[in-house]
């Protein structure tokens, strides 16, 4: 649901869904990343950055990504990679 709501720019609902997901799994990289992307899209770079730092801390063996420098097109590719890594 969060993905659909995010695409429709229904950010409060998407954030709620991702927060519920984090209640079940506080290390869910997809939820944390999407929360960061929502904050970024809303212009709150501090909150976005804090979420992306959480991802970095949870994935110490992965190359660090400067999410705030990526274009939205690259986010999709990066999220797809993150999703594949999370399922491993």
pLDDT digits (tens, 9 = 90+) for 3-36: 777 777 778 999 999 999 999 999 998 899 889 8
**Cβ–Cβ under 8 Å, residues 39 and 51:** yes
Q: What is the pLDDT of residue 27?
A: 93
Q: For residue 88, name the pLDDT band (cuts at 50, 70, 90).
A: very low
**Whole-angstrom distance, CA of residue 8 vs CA of residue 55:** 24
End-to-end CA distance of the chain: 23
Distance from the Cα of residue 75 to its chain's centroid: 9
**pTM score of the predicted model:** 0.70
**Cβ–Cβ under 8 Å, residues 34 and 2:** yes
């Amino acid at each position: 649901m969060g993905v659909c709501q995010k695409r429709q720019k229904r950010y409060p609902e998407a954030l709620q869904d991702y927060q519920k997901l984090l209640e079940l799994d506080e290390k869910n990289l997809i939820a944390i990343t999407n929360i960061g992307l929502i904050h970024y899209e809303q212009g709150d770079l501090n909150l976005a950055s804090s979420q992306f730092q959480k991802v970095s801390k949870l994935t110490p063996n992965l190359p660090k990504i400067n999410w705030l420098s990526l274009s939205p097109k690259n986010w999709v590719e990066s999220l797809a990679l993150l999703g594949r890594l999370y399922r491993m």
